[in-house]
């Protein structure tokens, strides 16, 4: 099921299916619906949503956002505080630098979220796994810190961000 809300750039995603074992094998992981919005603390365009669940940044002259900003991201709002087992996404044309951050309130900067996982060279199917003691948080931020060389410039393209959490 894919539900596009009336506010531009917000997607609520839910999937049905069977639970899959977590890395420990002792707990099941289930899909967690999330409202997804672009996050750009510098006031720029951040990510733009394209065709369903594909998100793309604008093209910059360097992998460090043209030295204009520290990064951009996608905020995954779970609606209430929840533990997260994994955040899965597909990085198109990577590699990019990406972090998973968590927070209890929607923050104005990436520093307002705690870094819980990272991938320095994310490309293709990517799984960000927070430690088991990361806690329960409402907001989970996929924070891109470095762009990939694409089309004569640098940008990030992320498809299908999806959250999984432990079964209740």
- pLDDT per residue as tens digits for the range 70-122: 999 999 999 999 999 999 999 999 899 999 999 999 999 999 999 999 999 99
Phi, psi of 154 (to 5 degrees): -135, 135
Domains of the chain are: 2-16+27-166 (2.60.120.260)
The answer to whether the predicted template modeling score (pTM) of the entire model surpasses 0.75 is: yes
Give CA–CA dist 155/113, Å, rounded: 23
Q: Is the pLDDT of residue 49 over 60?
A: yes
Where residue 11 falls among pLDDT bands split at 50, 70, 90?
Answer: very low
* String of DSSP letters for 98-117: EEEEEESS--SSGGGSEEEE
3-state helix, strand, coil in the chain (%, to 5): 5, 60, 35
Residue 6's contacts (CB-CB under 8 Å, 6 or more residues apart) are none
Q: Hey, which residues does 55 pair with through a beta bridge?
A: 49, 158
């Amino acid at each position: 099921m894919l539900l596009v809300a009336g506010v531009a750039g917000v997607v609520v995603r839910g999937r049905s299916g069977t639970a899959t074992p977590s890395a420990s094998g002792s707990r099941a992981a289930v899909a967690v619906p999330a409202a997804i919005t672009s996050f750009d603390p510098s006031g720029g365009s951040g990510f733009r949503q394209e065709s369903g669940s594909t998100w793309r940044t604008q093209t910059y002259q360097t992998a460090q956002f043209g030295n204009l900003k520290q990064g951009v991201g996608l905020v995954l709002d779970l609606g209430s505080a929840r533990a997260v087992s994994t955040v899965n996404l597909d990085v198109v044309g990577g590699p990019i630098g990406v972090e998973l951050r968590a927070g209890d309130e929607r923050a104005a900067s990436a520093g307002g979220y705690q870094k819980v996982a990272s991938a320095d060279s994310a490309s293709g199917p990517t799984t960000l796994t927070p430690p088991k003691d990361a806690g329960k948080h409402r907001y989970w931020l996929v924070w891109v810190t470095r762009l990939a060389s694409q089309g004569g410039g640098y940008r990030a393209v992320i498809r299908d961000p999806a959250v999984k959490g432990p079964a209740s």
